[in-house]
Amino acid sequence: MLRSKIGGIGYYVPEKVVTNDDLTKVMDTSDEWIKERTGIEERRYGIKHKETTSTMGARAAEIAIERAGIQKEEVDFIIFATLSPDYYFPGSGVLLQRELGITKTEIGALDIRNQCSGFIYGLSIADQFVRTGMYKNVLLVGAEMHSMGLDFTTRGRNVTVIFGDGAGAVVVQPTEEENQGILTTKLHSDGTYAEKLAFINPGSHGGYHSKHTGEEVDYGYSDAEYGDIFLNQHMLDNAQIFPNMEGQFVFKLAVQKFPEVIMEALSEAGLEKKDIDMMVPHQANLRISAFVQRQLGLRDDQVWNNIQKYGNTTAASIPIALCEAVEAGAVKRGDLVCLAAFGSGFTWGSALIRW
């Protein structure tokens, strides 16, 4: 039976290291406060005007392509997952294609917006394409350049201290080996509480969704002769152009959904918690990872965490962490690897891979 495997994997993080102490120079926070709440000690920031989401993705992709044993021109489809694209449109997939110099092949490029779950969603899509025989070398990239859109004041510290920049990439290829490849992927969403973790403005909503939240929020839109204003001073003054998060709400939902979606995947594959050799969770918060680890009864050496070094890199976090684990020899051929993510939307998902 034809199934898909990860044939090559790579990651890229910028050289610039930003420590917690560095952030204390621009906002009222402390190293202790950040580590206690998130586990983060430092993160990476891209070089402005020289690095972008798509260029970082390209650097990770080049490594993954080389390790997959193919030429760039053999990639026959691109999937790009990010919440911080270079442009509002077009998506980063075509920019990655251009950066890699493979525009002549005119392959398709798909951009997906599933935030922290973006890589899992992308992996599921790539898996289906390969299983059906439609494509043989699907390049999946998760990349983020958060540093270009964060509020570097005390007002924004609860969100800003969490995020970092980086990129990870895999090449998904077919395999007929029985004991190798992606066993299953599980995807879920619930938009009920979408605004609990969201980037509200600029946007086309015009305040419409307040009827769902039940909150009287002044989004700064006013009726004008030729329609509503896309971006105005009110939005700037009230920090509506930055991401907002209700941390406790997100935390409580995450620790519920993470174990659920992992157990769902194990059940479908006829496996149990004890069969997991390595879990690579989305790097959202070290406390969330620790909670899930306890729920699954896993040892410290069975869970790969690197949020301490890189912060939350959203769609890039799982491929970066997985690549690190592979390079460190912590993931070996035949190991059962479990990937899981939860994030804005809310969306969540899991994947089981026999490495």
Residues 6+ apart with CB under 8 A from 181: 3, 4, 5, 175, 353, 354
Whole domain around residue 340: which residue ranges? Answer: 181-192+246-354
Instruction: Give the chain's end-to-end CA distance (angstroms, integer).
Output: 17
Question: Are residues 186 and 148 part of one domain?
Answer: no
Question: Are residues 139 and 71 part of one domain?
Answer: yes
Q: Which residue carries 């969201």 as its tokens?
A: 198
Residue 316 lies in a domain: yes
- What confidence score (pLDDT) does residue 216 get? 65
Q: Where are the alpha helices (DSSP H) in the chain?
A: 20-23, 31-38, 53-67, 92-100, 118-131, 157-160, 210-213, 233-237, 247-269, 286-296, 307-310, 317-327
Of 175, 208, 237, the last residue of a domain is: 175
Residue 210 lies in a domain: no
Question: Are residues 23 and 66 part of one domain?
Answer: yes
The Cα–Cα gap between 263 and 259 comes to 6
Instruction: Give the C-alpha distances (Å, rounded to integers) separating 219 from 142, 200, 225.
Output: 31, 9, 18
- What confidence score (pLDDT) does residue 309 get? 98
Provide the domain count of the chain. Answer: 2
Contact of 66 with 85, CB cutoff 8 Å: no
Nearest CA among 283, 285, 265, 286 for reference residue 338: 265
Instruction: Quickly count: other Cβ atoms within 10 Å of residue 259's Cβ.
Output: 17
Contact of 151 with 160, CB cutoff 8 Å: yes
Instruction: Give the C-alpha distances (Å, rounded to integers) separating 148 from 48, 61, 90, 242, 344.
Output: 8, 22, 18, 10, 19
The Cα–Cα gap between 319 and 324 comes to 8
Question: Are residues 105 and 87 part of one domain?
Answer: yes
pTM of the model: 0.95
Cis upstream peptide for 281 (omega within 30°): no
- What confidence score (pLDDT) does residue 210 get? 74
Task: Please state whether beta strands 278-281 and 336-343 pair in parallel, antiparallel, or not at all (unpaired).
Answer: parallel
- What confidence score (pLDDT) does residue 205 get? 78
The Cα–Cα gap between 202 and 189 comes to 23
Question: Are residues 185 and 291 part of one domain?
Answer: yes
Helix (H, G, I), strand (E, B) or coil at 33: helix
- What confidence score (pLDDT) does residue 227 get? 55
Tell me the two tokens of residue 141.
């990239």
Question: Are residues 186 and 288 part of one domain?
Answer: yes
Side-chain-side CA neighbours of residue 78 (13 Å): 29
Residue 222 lies in a domain: no
Helix (H, G, I), strand (E, B) or coil at 173: strand
Task: Please state whether beta strands 77-81 and 108-112 pair in parallel, antiparallel, or not at all (unpaired).
Answer: parallel
The Cα–Cα gap between 8 and 69 comes to 8
Told to judge if 209 belongs to the known catalytic residues of this protein, a careful annotator would answer: no
> Distance from CA of residue 41 to its chain's centroid?
19
Question: Are residues 187 and 163 part of one domain?
Answer: no
Helix (H, G, I), strand (E, B) or coil at 117: helix
Told to judge if 323 belongs to the known catalytic residues of this protein, a careful annotator would answer: no
Residue 253 lies in a domain: yes
The Cα–Cα gap between 31 and 236 comes to 29
Choose the catalytic residue: 116, 201, 285, 338: 116
- What confidence score (pLDDT) does residue 217 get? 65
- What confidence score (pLDDT) does residue 1 get? 77
Of 175, 206, 236, the last residue of a domain is: 175
Cis upstream peptide for 230 (omega within 30°): no
According to DSSP, the residues that pair with 312 across neighbouring strands are 163
Nearest CA among 260, 202, 278 for reference residue 234: 202
Choose the catalytic residue: 282, 305, 306, 338: 282
Residue 134 lies in a domain: yes
Question: Are residues 143 and 252 part of one domain?
Answer: no
Residue 238 lies in a domain: no
The Cα–Cα gap between 225 and 180 comes to 61
Q: What is the pLDDT along the chain (355 residues), one digit of tens a residue?
A: 789 999 999 999 999 999 999 999 999 999 999 999 999 999 999 999 999 999 999 999 999 999 999 999 999 999 999 999 999 999 999 999 999 999 999 999 999 999 999 999 999 999 999 999 999 999 999 999 999 999 999 999 999 999 999 999 999 999 998 889 999 999 999 999 988 988 887 877 777 777 777 766 666 666 555 555 677 777 777 777 788 888 899 999 999 999 999 999 999 999 999 999 999 999 999 999 999 999 999 999 999 999 999 999 999 999 999 999 999 999 999 999 999 999 999 999 999 999 9
Question: Are residues 318 and 171 part of one domain?
Answer: no
Question: Are residues 254 and 144 part of one domain?
Answer: no
Tell me, what DSSP letter sits at residue 312? B
Residue 157 lies in a domain: yes
Helix (H, G, I), strand (E, B) or coil at 10: strand
Q: Return the CATH number at 280.
A: 3.40.47.10
Choose the catalytic residue: 114, 146, 312, 323: 312
